Amino acid sequence: MRSSTALRRVLLACVAAAFAACGGGGGGGGNNNPPPPPPPALNITTTSLAAGVVGAPYSQSVAATGGTGTRTFTTSAGALPAGLSLNPASGAISGTPSGTPGTSSFTITVTDSASPPNSDSQALSIRIDAAAAESHDVIVVGAGSAGLYAAKTLIAEGYDVLILEATDRIGGRVKSTTLGDMRVDLGAEEHYLAVGDNPVWPAITGEYGESIYVSGYNGAEVYSMDGGTNTCWTVAGAARACADDPDVTQSWDIYDWYWRTELHPDPTTSLADDVLYEYGVGVGHRAYHIYDAGFAGSVFATSLHKLGAQSLAIQDYGWDLSNGIRVLGDKDLGYSDALETVWWDDVVANSDLRLNSPVVTIDTSGESVAVTDLSGAVYLAHQVIVTVSIGVLQAEKIDFVPDLPDTTVDAYNGIGIDAGMKVPLRFSAPWWETEGVALGSMVTEGVAGFCWIPSDYKSGTTSYVMMCYPMGDNALALTGLAETAGGGAAGDEAIVNAILADLDATFPGEENPATAHYIEGIVQNWGAAPYTLGAYSYAMVGTFESADQNRRRDLQVPVAEDRIFFAGEATHVTHPATVVGALHEGERAALAVAAVNGNPGNPPTP
Ligand SMILES: Cc1cc2nc3c(=O)[nH]c(=O)nc-3n(C[C@H](O)[C@H](O)[C@H](O)COP(=O)(O)OP(=O)(O)OC[C@H]3O[C@@H](n4cnc5c(N)ncnc54)[C@H](O)[C@@H]3O)c2cc1C
């Protein structure tokens, strides 16, 4: 024991001597400072973030400590909720949540400016809640003719109605604008008056007097044939009289042939098939475009080969509002101007209307109907009336929870809707009066399709306006041209130029008369309008089995235990594709809702 203690003393002395010899670092200069301490580690200290609310401003910060120099924050995995962004310098997350409610998970990484840089990452998430739900008796989706008339009917019954409209205006496919010094209609223009219960007629004549309604299409019909060389006029003594062209005179029979159901016995043929069988006119025949653009396009907003011959006959056998077509004969009054005055302003004043609120979800899994719009706002009601177009339903722009029954899905997929546009063009002179008479309407051989002259019936105007109506395949071809040109204003210019070229080719004799007199035009492309996606509904093969069994009637059937109702021009069995049909359907659905609700002024408790 003794000896080991002595040895330890010797060793300690040696260690002390050795340390002194090292001189505190071996530099020999007498600098004895310790090395600087390493910087504190870079560290994200935030471990959770507060929840946000759709539509409400949000601001939270991701904090970090340590590291060297400047810190930079990035989202290294996942994504922040829609509407929020990360400030890379401060780590602040801010903005206004705009997406659908839910939780977004992401990783934030902070990096310093050391060389090499240090970094730290933290997995985080933000829950976005729906805005506090608003509650109403009934919600109407879409502020077109059907939606506004449904709301009008429900308001009259004492109901508290919310209207959710996707676009920034009401009226849907009734839309007036100004060209030159006159109002032109980019959607519905004709009023169907005489037979049946048409609520438009008394409302408008009551406001503006009987003389507001005038006949349109006053003048000759013109048909372009054979590249313009045989364009004919329905004028006795015309240089080329249509009465002398058997292909044209034969085509006039179609109006007394297509709707006779017994003449279309095969439920699987298109109207193009039946025209070929009956008249010997098929694609490639010089007169095909008369049946195609002059009939299928101008009346049904599609192409001949897409119409179901028997379906259409069954549908139009019941048509009874066509006896008396009138237009508004005042240069300062369009269809939507008149409806605004007689009804719409009143409906807007007596309901809650949200524009720019595209509905994305209709959820009937709970006790109330929960309707969510694109901003994430949720609205509750006992019932909902959906008045969007067939195009919007087919594109499934609204998610129904739970799924709609197959009969409803088959119904909207079993009704046709095609591309279509209205293109009013203003000219410096009525160059079309080639035969010295006014032009009533014109069937062209190319993409313009069918055109007429609204300025001839708008009293007081000094403008010369031709309206062209490219539908179906013509509209698809023009839409393709517009896309190739890059869309927007360049796309519209491409459409106008193609129509002008068609018009130039229609009239023999003069050189490019349309292009020479052209001043300005408007392109209203309903097929490309995101919340219409088509012109108006038509009967395709299979739409009708009979007057009672058909897809239009199937779509009228309420679903989700009498909580979702469909209405619009497409649900009218005998007068689809009209404003008056849409009004009647809005009223039908509203009365059906009132019958199951029966308790106005009692919205669900949020
Ligand atoms: C070129 C053209 C010419 C026509 N000519 C005539 C005519 O001369 N005479 C005639 O009587 N009829 C005519 N029509 C038909 C007539 O315009 C329509 O039948 C009628 O306006 C349709 O009314 P609606 O309420 O059914 O649909 P719409 O008017 O389309 O209304 C539906 C509304 O729903 C909105 N919407 C869509 N999706 C959503 C969503 N997700 N959330 C919220 N809102 C949504 C739309 O923006 C729209 O406002 C024409 C139509 C076109 C396109």
Tell me the pLDDT tens digit for each residue of 277-315.
999 999 999 999 999 999 999 999 999 999 999 999 999
Bond into 116 cis (ω within 30): yes
Fold agreement (43-129, 134-171+331-417+533-597) = no
Q: Is 355 in the pocket of ligand 1 (CB under 6 A)?
A: no
| Backbone conformation region of residue 415, classed left if phi is above 0, alpha if psi is from -120 to 50, else beta | beta
Residue of the CA atom closest to atom 52 of ligand 1: 187
Cα–Cα distance, 478 to 501 (Å, whole number): 12
Q: Mind giving me the DSSP string for 391-431?
A: HHHHTT-SEEESPPPHHHHHHHHTSEE--BEEEEEEESS-T
CB atoms within 10 A of CB 42: 19
Burial, 57: exposed, middle or buried (Cβ in 10 Å; 0-12, 13-18, 19+)? exposed
pTM above 0.85, yes or no: no
CA angle, 525 then 223 then 312, to 5°: 60
pLDDT at residue 479 above 70?
yes
CA-closest candidate to residue 383, choices 560, 506, 503, 194: 560
Higher pLDDT, 104 or 133: 104
148: which residues sit within 8 A by CB, 6+ positions away? 163, 170, 171, 343, 344, 347, 586
What 3-state DSSP class applies to 235?
Answer: coil
Which fold, 134-171+331-417+533-597?
A: FAD/NAD(P)-binding domain (3.50.50)
Cα–Cα distance, 178 to 186 (Å, whole number): 10
| φ, ψ at 398 (rounded to 5°) | -115, 130
Residue with tokens 């007081």: 460
Question: What CATH architecture does domain 43-129 belong to?
Answer: Sandwich (2.60)
CA-closest candidate to residue 354, choices 155, 143, 566: 143
Q: In this predicted structure, what is the pLDDT of residue 132? A: 63
CB atoms within 10 A of CB 144: 26
Cα–Cα distance, 546 to 550 (Å, whole number): 6
Residue of the CA atom closest to atom 1 of ligand 1: 187
Sign of the four-CA dihedral 469, 471, 474, 477:
positive
Higher pLDDT, 10 or 151: 151
pLDDT at residue 133 above 90?
no
Average per-residue pLDDT for the chain: 92
Cα–Cα distance, 235 to 24 (Å, whole number): 119
Where are the chain's structural domains? 43-129, 134-171+331-417+533-597
Tokens of 332: 């300062």
Tell me the pLDDT tens digit for each residue of 578-603.
999 999 999 999 999 999 999 999 99
pLDDT at residue 523 above 80?
yes
Cα–Cα distance, 26 to 464 (Å, whole number): 102
Q: In this predicted structure, what is the pLDDT of residue 6? A: 35
Q: Is 534 in the pocket of ligand 1 (CB under 6 A)?
A: no
Cα–Cα distance, 555 to 588 (Å, whole number): 13
How many A from CA of 549 to the centre of ligand 1?
Answer: 24
Residue of the CA atom closest to atom 35 of ligand 1: 142
Chain centroid to CA 360: 12
Reported confidence tier of residue 32, pLDDT bands at 50, 70, 90: low
DSSP 137: S
Q: Is 165 in the pocket of ligand 1 (CB under 6 A)?
A: yes
What 3-state DSSP class applies to 244?
Answer: helix
- Count, residues in the chain: 606
Q: In this predicted structure, what is the pLDDT of residue 238? A: 85
How many A from CA of 309 to the centre of ligand 1?
Answer: 25
Question: What is the enclosing helix (H) or strand (E) of 472?
Answer: helix 472-484
Residue with tokens 């009551």: 206
Cα–Cα distance, 150 to 584 (Å, whole number): 9
Instruction: Give bridge partners of residue 565 from the DSSP assignment.
Output: 385
Tokens of 145: 């003719």
Tell me the pLDDT tens digit for each residue of 314-372.
999 887 766 688 999 999 999 999 999 999 999 999 999 999 999 999 999 999 999 99
Q: Is 173 in the pocket of ligand 1 (CB under 6 A)?
A: yes
Tell me the pLDDT tens digit for each residue of 525-555.
999 999 999 999 999 999 999 999 999 999 9
Residue of the CA atom closest to atom 12 of ligand 1: 578
Pocket test for ligand 1, best of 361, 579, 583 (most atoms within 8 A of CB): 579
Reported confidence tier of residue 5, pLDDT bands at 50, 70, 90: very low
Q: Is 257 in the pocket of ligand 1 (CB under 6 A)?
A: no
What 3-state DSSP class applies to 302?
Answer: coil
